Amino acid sequence: MEFITYEQDGFVGVITINRPKALNALNSQVLDELNDTLDAVDLETTRALILTGAGDKSFVAGADIGEMSTLTKAEGEAFGKKGNDVFRKLETFPLPVIAAVNGFALGGGCEISMSCDIRICSENAIFGQPEVGLGITPGFGGTQRLARLVGAGMAKQMIYTARNIKADEAYRIGLVNAVYPAEELLDQAKKMAAGIAANAPIAVRNCKKAINDGLQVDMDQAIVIEEKLFGDCFETEDQKAGMGNFLEKDKEKKLKVVPFQNK
Ligand code: DAK
């Protein structure tokens, strides 16, 4: 792989988009490599992923404008599909994904962070959807995910004005969960991921699915989705160990050593 690095640290996998000369902009090769990296994640030994960008200036400065500038309609459609497929793969990935946004998150960069479950960022992070200034609409889910995350009014303001926002404003509107000094960001992401990884993996996966799927339907249907995924946890080693530890008052036995069980 030329533009993606993957490192596993315990139960946590760290995916780094590594194209700093172009501020980690997403060209076709980056998208292909990201897709292949996600396909290769070992779901037996990994419990959470972190997505970040190489260098200290940019998470992802958007889709690659140079590559896009010469696309025909058909090629533009194919590029959009490639991006959307990878973003959707991230969004529906069985494991929680934390975006550690270390600088610019513009256009496709903001959009890829929104395909992750949780966003935290560095103090120098800048978010924005500048597409209308380039003569296009946000095309990697920006019109849909931003409105769901921060509300339609704020999303429309950001998208129509193409104005970038800084980390503190991203925090204020709920686009990111926390802001850290740049040098602490990755450690904080790893700490959060380790906290997730210490919990029952089947339960965590089912929570992600319940929240994601439930948000697409009305409350009556959402509750049925929740019931199914709740029931699905029973008879697992995790459920037996987790409840058994509580009843035996044995906090030391926690769930940390229970490997992922497919039942
Ligand atoms: N694409 C390609 N190269 C980029 C880039 C980008 N998005 N952003 C930066 N670079 C490159 C620059 O060209 C420069 O390369 P060299 O000239 O050194 O070879 C290098 O990165 C450093 O950038 P700057 O010299 O510009 O650095 P500055 O610190 O001065 O400025 C900046 C940083 C982030 C403010 C500036 O680079 C910038 O404005 N970049 C563009 C940001 C942007 O507009 N991003 C949104 C792209 S549009 C679709 C789906 C999705 C999309 C499109 C279609 N379909 C469904 C079809 C998505 C669209 C987008 O994301």
Token pair listed for 148: 């769901």
One-letter identity of residue 166: K
Pocket residues for ligand 1 (CB within 6 Å)? 22-23, 25, 61-66, 68, 76, 79-80, 83, 104, 106-108, 130-131, 134, 136, 139-140
pLDDT recorded at residue 241: 86
The single residue listed with the structure tokens 């849909």 is: 144
DSSP string, 73-87: HHHHHHHHHHHHHHH
| CA separation, residue 50 to residues 11, 19, 84 (Å) | 11, 17, 19
Q: What is the pLDDT of residue 257?
A: 45
- Which amino acid is located at 180 in the chain? Y
Predicted confidence (pLDDT) per residue in 152-208, tens digit: 999 999 999 999 999 999 999 999 999 999 999 999 999 999 999 999 999 999 999
User: What residue owns the CA closest to ligand 1's atom 40?
Assistant: 61
Give the per-residue pLDDT at 186.
98
- The CA dihedral of 94, 98, 102, 106, to the nearest 10 degrees, is 60
pLDDT in tens, 50-107: 999 999 999 999 999 999 999 999 998 999 999 999 999 999 999 999 999 999 999 9
**Which DSSP symbol is given to 3?**
S
Mean pLDDT computed over every residue of the chain: 94
Q: How far is CA 87 from CA 31, 55, 82, 173, in A?
A: 9, 22, 9, 22
Residue of the CA atom closest to atom 55 of ligand 1? 80
pLDDT single digits (tens) 115-142: 999 999 999 999 999 999 999 999 899 9
Atom of ligand 1 nearest to the CA of 107: 61
pLDDT tens digits, 17-63: 999 999 999 999 999 999 999 999 999 999 999 999 999 999 999 99
Mean pLDDT over 241-249 rounds to 86
User: What is the Cα–Cα distance from 258 to 263, expressed in whole angstroms?
Assistant: 12
